[in-house]
Amino acid sequence: MAFLKKLLSLSSLGLDKDKPYLFVGAMKRNHKNKNLMEDSGFNIGNYVVGHYGADTIKHSQYFQTGLGSINPKYINKNYSKLIIIATNWFAKYMENLYDYNYLIKKYKKIKIPIVLMGLGTDMSLNENSKDFVRNLSKPMKKFYRTLADMTPSISVRGYFTQEILNLAGIKNTVATGCPSYYVNGTSNPEIIKKQYRDDFKINFNTNHSYNEIFKKFVNNGNAYFTIQTETMLMELADYQNEIPKNILQAIAKEYGINEENLSKDNKRYVYFDDIENWENYIKQIDFSIGTRIHGAIIALKNGIPAVMIPNDTRTKEMADLFNIPQVAFNTFTDEKVSIRKIYEQADYSKMNEAYPKLLTNYISFLNTHNLVFEGRIFNKETKKQEASLCR
């Protein structure tokens, strides 16, 4: 802990006071933009990345933009650092999102320091790493190699991404996980489980297409489902009266799930237009479980036990790095397995123990880039406010 305090004090020496930082990528919620999904990159979980991630860095002024929306001349004149808060961008489905040759030309004109943090990859758990890298587009790989050459080190989501980037010729990486994990700094709450009760409020944060998990949700009257990407489920949550059968059928067809696995009680589907409302909601929950890594992170950062169900490399590598308790997806095909059993078997000792070392590693990364760490102060006694649900 003494070494950690020294890191914190040393990092404050390099704060840029004259010009603001420009944050690129995952963003905080901008309420001027009325399109909740578009602003989030079509995953509300990205607000956790942008909001918590930016809150780990001390800055006097905050501006944000998209990866492809930069103006090098303007940026060089008006900002002191360009901080890219990434997600799982080194992936096949990102190849056609940008003209990477064009981005290379633009980013090569950036003269201020570039910081790339939280970069991850995404592939199925049984895919071959070498084949995956070989089949990625050459312009995209060249773009990230170009960024790597312009910065001392890149923060990545875990050891698997580190391996993939190494295969792609990018060697200067540090496995920190997502920056959002460190939002509480040294005041991070230890997860201590209480005795399980039958009236526990359970939060499911999972991909819509997993029928076996949906069954557990539907059959538990105290369970809620947090929506992150499913726009049609948002419509269901917004419905004021009895949900017509044709609406349920359309949603079931759209997401490839059984109609009986949709709860008829739409108050059990929730989504949020900002982090504060999400936090107020999660503080009223007793246990969170699902495939969404940032659904788990927002629970854990607010002192709520969470368990991950990894369904791809991007979720598993961070759950592994942070030591978040995990259960395999096929666990849910066993009718004898209950949420209670999963909760009671979850062990948070390794996760609690690993956090200080992980935080030290993250702060060291920031120090390398002359950035100042500034986590928020988490207060366990903070009064739980009534969450304002987006309906």
Residue 172 pLDDT more than 90? yes
Higher pLDDT, 172 or 239: 172
| Paired tokens of 83 | 């901080």
Segment 174-197, tens digit of pLDDT: 999 999 999 999 989 999 999 999
Name which of 68, 100, 102 is nearest 84 in CA terms.
68
Helices then strands, counting H and E runs in the chain, come out as: 16, 13
What is the distance in angstroms between the CA of the first residue and the CA of the last residue of the chain?
A: 44
Confidence (pLDDT) at 240:
67
Cα separation, 288 vs 305, whole angstroms: 6
User: Distance of alpha carbon 173 from its chain centroid, rounded?
Assistant: 19
Confidence (pLDDT) at 77:
94
7 within 8 A of 366, measured Cβ to Cβ: no
Segment 36-57, tens digit of pLDDT: 445 545 566 666 776 677 788 8
Lowest-pLDDT range, 65-69, 333-337, 339-343?
A: 333-337
Cα separation, 77 vs 239, whole angstroms: 49
Q: Which of 78-94 are b and which e, b meaning 16 or more Cβ less than 10 Å from the residue's Cβ?
A: ebbbbbbbbbbbbbeeb
Residue 326 DSSP code: B
Residue 259: what are its φ and ψ, rounded to 5°? -60, -35
284 within 8 A of 290, measured Cβ to Cβ: no
| Paired tokens of 239 | 């419905």
CB atoms within 10 A of CB 356: 14
Q: Residue 114: CA atoms inside 13 Å, Cβ hemisphere, count?
A: 23
> Which domains can be identified in the chain, with CATH numbers?
2-186+355-368 (3.40.50), 191-351 (3.40.50)
Residue 387 pLDDT more than 60? no
331 within 8 A of 342, measured Cβ to Cβ: yes
Which residue matches tokens 């009671």? 344
29 within 8 A of 273, measured Cβ to Cβ: yes
Lowest-pLDDT range, 155-159, 193-197, 329-333?
A: 329-333
List the alpha helices (DSSP H) in 13-113: 36-39, 46-54, 72-78, 100-107
214 within 8 A of 256, measured Cβ to Cβ: no
Task: Using pLDDT thresholds of 50, 70 and 90, give the confidence band for residue 362.
Answer: very high
Q: Mean pLDDT of all residues in the chain?
A: 83
Cα separation, 73 vs 177, whole angstroms: 32
Residue 391 pLDDT more than 50? no
Cα separation, 79 vs 364, whole angstroms: 23
Name which of 189, 187, 186, 190 is nearest 8 in CA terms.
186
CA angle 37, 42, 48 (to 5 degrees): 85
93 within 8 A of 109, measured Cβ to Cβ: no
Residue 31 DSSP code: T
Q: Residue 319: CA atoms inside 13 Å, Cβ hemisphere, count?
A: 24
| Paired tokens of 105 | 């030309």
Task: Using pLDDT thresholds of 50, 70 and 90, give the confidence band for residue 277.
Answer: confident
Segment 209-222, tens digit of pLDDT: 666 777 777 777 78
Burial of 4 (0-12, 13-18, 19+ CB in 10 A): middle
Task: Using pLDDT thresholds of 50, 70 and 90, give the confidence band for residue 17.
Answer: low
3-state secondary structure of 225: strand
Confidence (pLDDT) at 12:
47
Q: Residue 64: CA atoms inside 13 Å, Cβ hemisphere, count?
A: 18
Residue 14 pLDDT more than 80? no
Q: What is the mean pLDDT of residues 88-108?
A: 94
